[in-house]
Amino acid sequence: MMRLVYLAFILFELPLFGAGTVSSPFLRLALVAPFPAVMSVAQADKIPMQQIDPPAAAAGRVHPGDSVTALVTLTEPGAPRTQWLLYLQSVLPGPNEKNGRPLPPKILFSSCGNRFEFPSSASFVSLRSIGPFIEPGSDDRPPALQDNAVRFNVDQGILGLGLDRAAAALHRMVLTGTRGGFQFRDTPFTVAETRDSRILARKVHLTSDEERALSGMIPALLAFSDIAQRTEGLNDIFWRIVNIPSVWSVMWNVGVAASLEVQSDRVAPADPATWGLPPRSPAYYFPIRLALNKDDAFYVTLVVTAPHPPLQMCGGVVGLLAEKAGDKDTYLSLRILSARSPRAVAVAQPAH
């Protein structure tokens, strides 16, 4: 399915509608405390559970020892909540592991007639997922605890693009009240196809940096979703909140066609302090709609900030809410609890 999603990504349009209000479901992104059993496992295994270190001045390289800890919580009607602990850490490849071949740059074209090239760079990481943990006080029998670990390469260059600058650009343009949209794909647009986008760009005063940021969010989203795919058991959790297309829909569409739409009218600033970020850090709610065979499957709201190390490993995503379409009582949240860097600790230590 991911290849279909990629095709939808590079062909999608960014609609610019009138500014909307932040809806109440965003409140579900509020802090959910880890269950005592989660804290106990983290303490025993020395997994950091608090503090986001001050970010580097700019996106750069992920260094061995950089780590990100995330808590995933699933809420379903009539069932106790369940949690999973995720621990992502930058590591050196072992003697029998390769850091990956040099990656070609990602190239995208905008409907304004411009070409953008984004350098790629591989980095080796380990990802550990532990769970499920069941909510205390439940009468249900605790499920068998799974502890899985995988090692793989991530594209730190693309993750360093992040989504915060795209969110800032969308929010600014939506506030102009101008209607229209921009498109991005992996093949050039004709002169005739660029006419309307060029007119719109002048109306909303789209800068070259903003256009590049909007284009870059496509590979950045794909790089982040690649990490999610690698998480043992997380795909199974997501299927529990996705509306599966009917058999007739699958037959009529010859399979499953997936598409993603950034809901630009709902992009809004977030409070950095709520997410453990330093004051004046950029922070935005970034809502996305996913459809399967043109039917709503689920809605995802990301909370994004600047993807500077150590948060570069997760593309600057510090929170996530996934809601089942037509059933807002079934949802999944992810929150970054800790982002640590040995380099930040070394700098903070006083000289002797």
Nearest CA among 258, 248, 242 for reference residue 297: 242
| pLDDT grade for 255, boundaries at 50, 70 and 90 | low
> Are the beta carbons of 277 and 237 closer than 8 angstroms?
no
Cα–Cα distance measured from residue 155 to residue 251, given in angstroms and rounded to the nearest whole number: 36
Given a cut of 80, whether residue 33 has pLDDT beyond it is: yes
- Of 25 and 159, more confident: 159
pTM summary value: 0.86
Given a cut of 50, whether residue 173 has pLDDT beyond it is: yes
User: Strand order of the sheet with strand 115-118?
Assistant: 13-15, 181-185, 106-110, 115-118
What percent helix, strand, coil does the chain show, rounded to 5? 30, 30, 40
Mean pLDDT on 46-55: 90
Cα–Cα distance measured from residue 60 to residue 160, given in angstroms and rounded to the nearest whole number: 7
Mean pLDDT on 105-127: 93
Lowest mean pLDDT among 121-125, 217-221, 277-281, 343-347: 343-347
**In what helix (H) or strand (E) does residue 192 lie, and over which residues does it extend?**
helix 191-204
Question: Which tokens sit at 103?
Answer: 């990656």
Nearest CA among 221, 237, 220, 218 for reference residue 334: 237
Q: What are phi and psi of 318, to 5 degrees?
A: -110, -5
- The count of structural domains within the chain is 1
* Total residues found in the chain within this entry: 352
Q: What are phi and psi of 68, to 5 degrees?
A: -135, 130
Cα–Cα distance measured from residue 120 to residue 187, given in angstroms and rounded to the nearest whole number: 19
Cα–Cα distance measured from residue 37 to residue 85, given in angstroms and rounded to the nearest whole number: 11
Using alpha carbons, list the distances in angstroms from residue 235 to 173, 187, 239: 34, 31, 6
| pLDDT grade for 2, boundaries at 50, 70 and 90 | very low
Domain holding 22, by residue range, is 2-348
Q: What letter does residue 144 receive in the DSSP assignment?
A: P
Question: Which tokens sit at 45?
Answer: 């295994």
| Amino acid occupying residue 342 | P
Given a cut of 60, whether residue 253 has pLDDT beyond it is: no
pLDDT tens by residue, 92-108: 888 877 766 678 899 99
pLDDT tens by residue, 301-332: 999 999 999 999 999 999 999 888 888 788 88
| Amino acid occupying residue 236 | D
Mean pLDDT on 4-12: 37
Number of H helices, E strands in the chain: 9, 14
DSSP-derived 3-state class of residue 279: coil
Mean pLDDT on 126-140: 89
* The predicted structure's pLDDT at residue 170: 92
- Of 264 and 213, more confident: 213
Question: Which tokens sit at 2?
Answer: 């991911």
Cα–Cα distance measured from residue 278 to residue 276, given in angstroms and rounded to the nearest whole number: 7
Given a cut of 80, whether residue 231 has pLDDT beyond it is: no
DSSP-derived 3-state class of residue 132: strand
* The predicted structure's pLDDT at residue 279: 86
| pLDDT grade for 254, boundaries at 50, 70 and 90 | low
| pLDDT grade for 67, boundaries at 50, 70 and 90 | very high
Given a cut of 70, whether residue 154 has pLDDT beyond it is: yes
Q: Which range, 93-107, 189-203, 224-238, 331-345, is most confident?
A: 189-203
